[in-house]
Structure 1
Amino acid sequence: MKKINLTIAASDYDHFRDFRNGEVQAQGIEPIWLQHEIHEIFSRFAAKREWDVSEMSFAKFTAQMAEHEKPEDRDVIALPVFASRVFRLSSLYVNPSKGIRTAADLKGKRVGLPEWAQTAAVYTRGWLEHEAGVPLTSIQWVQAGTEDAGRTEKVDLKLPDGINIIRESEKTLSDMIVRGELDAIMTATIPLPYQRRDPNIKRLFDDPTGEEVKYFQRTGVYPIMHIIAMRKAVLDEYPWAARNLYLAFLESKDRAMERIFEGGASRYPIPWLNDTVMKLRDLFKGDIYPYGLDANYTTLETFLRFCFEQGVAKRLLKPEDIFPAGINPQVKT
């Protein structure tokens, strides 16, 4: 069987490493790996589909999928491979002078975010509304870059009634919260003033990890930030390619997990890593980084609903809508 060449653009993740360096093979596929800065990967694939397979913001992928009502009109599809997953209650920062002690205190406040359609912000707003009981319409939203001014939205939004967003093109979220022009911000990256221990910014939660664990135990939602997307034209020509890519990504991830679970002398220069991993394995019931549709159905369904409710996606998608049929079948051995 002659192999097909497929270009793959993604960040340098350890769970992709064995596939990228050739220790894991995708049957029938010769991958050509490309590495760029993450936002360049997103923007170039979202705008022009410059490569065959790409890491992509889950929110922006969802927005593009929802643009077309008929599946046959969509030119992109996802693999149930998750490049990045991060719990996001730690992404809420407040100015201590504003008297914000709990999430409920955000009602009526000015809250900044980098983009309404940022995946991290979608999850955090969903938590605010559904778990903390804070209507999104009760907040004055401000959009600006976290550290660099001039950041703009990348997708066409259909905002719900009552949502008001002020766009600040000349200021940054970090500067505005430190100066007290914003009461709070939500951002996927740790703001520089917080890293520098500026007294004018702190996290909303003193123990965000503890809150995130409780959220996971209560809801089963394990936030997915970045997915792997592929051009639908590849699938149309080579129907087997999606499944073979998925299996290679899965084997690469499983090998990465085995490296972490080896015990004894750790490969990674992180103290107490082995004990931490053991606790995480208990929390996630064995697989601390699951791929596939079934194991992630609750997370996928919740996120797609948040995207629709918040005007990131123009229609409500189901998890089955965004993956190729039969990508994750139950195979008896």
Structure 2
Amino acid sequence: MKLVLDRDDLAAAAMTAVGHSEVALERLDVRPAYKASHGFVNNASADVCELAAVTLLQATCFGKPVILLPVTTLGRFQHQTLVTCRGLSVDDIEGRTVGIRSWSQTTGVWVRGFLAEQYGVDLRKVKWVVYEGGHIDGYTDPPWVQRASSPASLQADFLNGRLDYGIMGNELPVDDRIRPAIANAANAATEWAQRNGFAPINHVLGVNVAAARDHSAEICLMYDAMRRVTEAQSAELSIDMHPVGFDALRGPINQVAAYAVEQGILPEYVEFDDLVARSCAALGVLPSRLGG
């Protein structure tokens, strides 16, 4: 089997778990992991792959042979990722330009959901500029989203003043002018998570359906090993940033799916129970085997 995973600790746990079986597990050298998403979803270039939560939902809607293995590989607060270096605040955003790497990027889906839900922003009144397409063959961005002229760079356009705001997580450049557009972003994010009972999640694990059927036992062992790692890290946290298991992922996946439908990224709402059923059917297990 071929594995794509950014986190070394989770990859090591998975490799060790499968090490005594007859199935060879190879970790592909693809970093950051999202660069493997297109090949994994559309061409089965890996068997188990770290995947953005929204990409997994899109893959389900578009009939791709991908199932959810309920392990969060990346979770973080998101309010701070809406940034500006022009002295603007979230209250100024309507009518302004906001750049983001991809419209279907999970970070952007969360942030736009917060803007509409918490700050009353009409998303159609914002000038959205994207720099890449999505990972799913057959998906197109909604018509109110503008593609940046090529060649162009989100970071360069942002720093040079061609964008009023940017939504950037790991892509955020280093510059003393940059400030979060949402005041007290950390407090706002913590309050949102406490009110909803979960934190936003970015990346989970996807499994190719054929691999799930052929190597169910090994994939379940990988799940167990990665669960032990993440649960040990989350034991003393008031908000679990890396939930594992179907029950733990239900809240954040349902919420980001609702936001994605509202933003024209999913053609229809994906029921979490359908994700559970697809995973269990392919792996030949009951939901309780994977924390459900």
TM-score, normalised via structure 1 length: 0.75
* Superposition deviation, residue 288 in structure 1: 5.2
Indicate if the aligned counterparts of 2:13 and 2:222 stay in contact, CA closer than 8 A.
no
1:247 is matched with: 224
**Equivalent-residue separation in structure 1 for 2:70 and 2:21 (angstroms):** 18
| CA RMSD across the alignment | 2.7
* Superposition deviation, residue 160 in structure 1: 5.5
Measured against aligned partners, the alpha-carbon deviations of 1:211-233 in whole angstroms (never above 9, x if no partner) come to 21011112224111111111111
Q: Aligned AA for 1:196?
A: D
**Equivalent-residue separation in structure 1 for 2:135 and 2:219 (angstroms):** 27
User: Identity of counterpart residues, as a percentage?
Assistant: 20
Measured against aligned partners, the alpha-carbon deviations of 1:125-157 in whole angstroms (never above 9, x if no partner) come to 11111221111101011112xxxxxx4443344
* Superposition deviation, residue 75 in structure 1: 1.2
2:145 is matched with: 164
**Equivalent-residue separation in structure 1 for 2:106 and 2:152 (angstroms):** 22
**Comparing 228-237 and 31-40, the one that deviates more:** 31-40
Which of the residues 233, 246, 261 maps onto 1:293?
246
* Superposition deviation, residue 171 in structure 1: 2.2
Which of the residues 174, 181, 195 maps onto 1:204?
181
- Correspondence 1:65 to 2:60: yes
* Superposition deviation, residue 33 in structure 1: 2.5
Which of the residues 56, 62, 80 maps onto 2:51?
56
The within-5 A match list for 1:91-240 is 91-97=81-87, 100-101=88-89, 103-144=90-131, 151-155=132-136, 156-157=138-139, 163-192=144-173, 195-197=174-176, 199=177, 201-238=178-215, 240=217
Indicate if the aligned counterparts of 2:41 and 2:65 stay in contact, CA closer than 8 A.
no
Indicate if the aligned counterparts of 2:70 and 2:246 stay in contact, CA closer than 8 A.
yes
- Look up the SS of the partner of 2:129 in the other structure: strand
The within-5 A match list for 1:11-90 is 11-20=6-15, 22=16, 30-38=24-32, 39-68=34-63, 74-90=64-80
**Equivalent-residue separation in structure 1 for 2:9 and 2:222 (angstroms):** 17
Indicate if the aligned counterparts of 1:92 and 1:185 stay in contact, CA closer than 8 A.
yes
Query: Larger Rg: 1 or 2?
Result: 1
Indicate if the aligned counterparts of 2:7 and 2:73 stay in contact, CA closer than 8 A.
no
Indicate if the aligned counterparts of 1:112 and 1:141 stay in contact, CA closer than 8 A.
yes
Between structures 1 and 2, the one with greater helix share: 2
* Superposition deviation, residue 77 in structure 1: 0.5
**Equivalent-residue separation in structure 1 for 2:226 and 2:200 (angstroms):** 19
**Equivalent-residue separation in structure 1 for 2:105 and 2:161 (angstroms):** 23
* Superposition deviation, residue 239 in structure 1: 5.0
Query: What number of residue pairs does the alignment pair up?
Result: 282
1:318 is matched with: 271
Indicate if the aligned counterparts of 2:73 and 2:242 stay in contact, CA closer than 8 A.
no
